[in-house]
Chains A and B, each alone.
Chain A
Amino acid sequence: MVEPSTDPDLMNAIIGAAPGSPLAELRAQRPDILRHTQGSHDVLLSPDDPGGLSLAERALVARRVAELSGHVALSNHYQVLLNTRGAPPPNPRTTTILTHAERLATAPGTATKAHLATLTAAGLSARDIVALTQLVAFVAYQVRVAVGLALLAQEKAA
């Protein structure tokens, strides 16, 4: 299976910051943030060993969180990834994972220990649960960075 080619820096691609543009230069003043934002994306969406949270499930979760956050460009990015990987089967396990992801995205304060037990019962290990949580939390971060950068880009274009 061939993954869609990923821009070396996804965030710059999402906000349309060409190499050498004012936004790309601004971001380059924070090299560790650039590197580890991209690195977080890569290890959460395309880990060498996905464990018990499949690559398709990861793409589905990321797409849903981006969609719930109202970020069209990131939703589209993850939809393309999901199309490449094929949607996970619509079964109780997938529903359990998505329901939890939606809760974390929209109402993290309502999560309880019992929700983690539900994930365990659906076959997720401790590592899978942490990876799912990190993935939702990462996309919540990514959406907001993309929004803030887009505002700066619009301001410069005005």
Chain B
Amino acid sequence: MNGGKFTLEAVEWDPWLAPVEAATATSKQRAALDASPQANSPYFRTLAHDVDSLAQRSPLFHSVMYVPRGLKRAERELATVVVSIINGCVYCSSVHARRFVELTRQPEVIQALYDHGLDTPLPPRMHAIVDYAAKLTREPAAMTVADLTPLRNVGMDDLEILDLTNAAAMFANANRLMQTLGEPIAPPPQS
């Protein structure tokens, strides 16, 4: 599954288009960047070329990942890692695997997914999340109501399933932006 490329180490991202520069950003671009998680990152400055879509997407992403109640944050992060592994987004999987580990102190879960693939044995609730996110990513048109049964069997309510769906869907989106507007690079050596 891994081929050694997915990591729990920090990764950086190198854009294939020249990002918008802070000095020449319009006031609208500056506002959209300020509402993004990292206004100075090359990624958000690249997205700022189409400012209106960035201005919608940043609050969408934020709400999907952080809105209170419903699915636990760590479980949203787990779903995004699964989607990123399937799509091959090394950058996204690194960032969100690290968030999962910060929240759970369970790097072994991520390492098992990286090393042994998405069928690796996991506790039932995590396993149900992994399976649902994987199928929604790979073959959305093949999903049936039976795909909800494993989630119900581990006690998920409607809001949790909605949050899980939104998190997996958001990374169908995030991976495509990250993978097709630039590429992951190793961080510069620590000085």
Contacts and interface: CB of A to CB of B under 8 A. Distances in A.
Contacts of A116: 16-17, 181
Nearest to B19: A126
Interface of B: 16-18, 46-47, 49-50, 52-57, 59-60, 62-64, 67, 69-70, 87-89, 136-137, 139-145, 147-148, 158-159, 161-166, 168-170, 172-177, 179-181, 183
B79 to A, nearest CB: 11
A85 B64 CA distance: 32
Nearest to A155: B145
A150 B69 CA distance: 22
Interface string A97-134: 00000011100110101011000000001110111011
B56 A43 contact: yes
B58 to A, nearest CB: 9
Contact of A71 (B16, B88, B141, B159): B141
Nearest to B178: A108
Nearest to B179: A108
Interface string A28-61: 0110110011011001100110010000000000
Nearest to A109: B88
A4 to B, nearest CB: 21
Nearest to A27: B162
Nearest to A69: B140
Contact of B176 (A69, A108, A147, A151): A108
Interface size classification for chain A: 35 or more
Interface in A127-158: 127, 129-131, 133-138, 140-145, 147-149, 151-152, 154-155, 158
A47 B60 CA distance: 18
A147 B172 CA distance: 13
Contacts of B18: 126
A137 B145 contact: no
Contact of A70 (B60, B62, B141, B177): B141
> Lowest 4 CB-CB distances: which A-B pairs, in order?
A70-B141, A148-B165, A36-B60, A144-B169
